[in-house]
Every structure is written in C-alpha cells, then in structure tokens.
Amino acid sequence: MGDTYNRFYQYTFLNQLLLLMQGIREPIGTMKTWNALGRSVLKGSKAYQIVRPITIMKKNDEGEVEATFTRFKPVRCTFAYSQTTGAEPPPSEVPG
C-alpha cells in the first residue's frame, strides 16, 4: 500500500486538511486516476470534496484578454482507495 501513495497528485496543505476533516486516511484520486490504474469506483460511492482553482479571463470588445482572476471552488471529485475495486496496482518505483 505504501508504494501506492507515490502515484497520486500531491494535494495542497489546505486540501490535505480538508480531506483529514472528512476522515480520509488513505490514498485518494479522481475517477480518471483510478481507471488509469485498472480500478473502478464502486457504484453509489460518494465523492470527497477538495478545493480547486478556477481561472477567469476577462476579455475586452476586441476579444483580447484584459485581466485574469483566480477563484477557488469546492468540488466533489475524489474517491478513496476503499471506494474502488479491481486489480491491485502494480508496484511503482520509489523516487531516490
């Protein structure tokens, strides 16, 4: 199980705290991540929430970008290892 952690996106400190508050103590990933590892999310599983940045571009009348703004939005898109089924992930190399 320890090598599984090396495959996943490194979430920000805020997202790590948010996941801990939701009771997550195992690897998490999006549905696309689990499918790439040969696992599928169990039917009826509830996704956990993280905060994602969203970039908004303000354009002028000519279609040129005047300014960009970054907003943060909570989204439910991650699933825990226990919410998936399938083959065990193959071992990964630990970075040196």
What are the residue ranges spanned by the domains of the chain?
A: 2-82
Residue 31: pLDDT band with limits 50, 70, 90: very high
CB atoms within 10 A of CB 18: 17
Which position has the token pair 């990964």?
A: 92
Cα 22 from chain centre: 14
How high is the pLDDT of residue 92? 64
- Confidence check: pLDDT of 30 > 80: yes
Residue 43: pLDDT band with limits 50, 70, 90: very high
pTM of the model: 0.75
Return d(Cα 86, Cα 83) in angstroms, integer.
Answer: 11
How high is the pLDDT of residue 93? 67
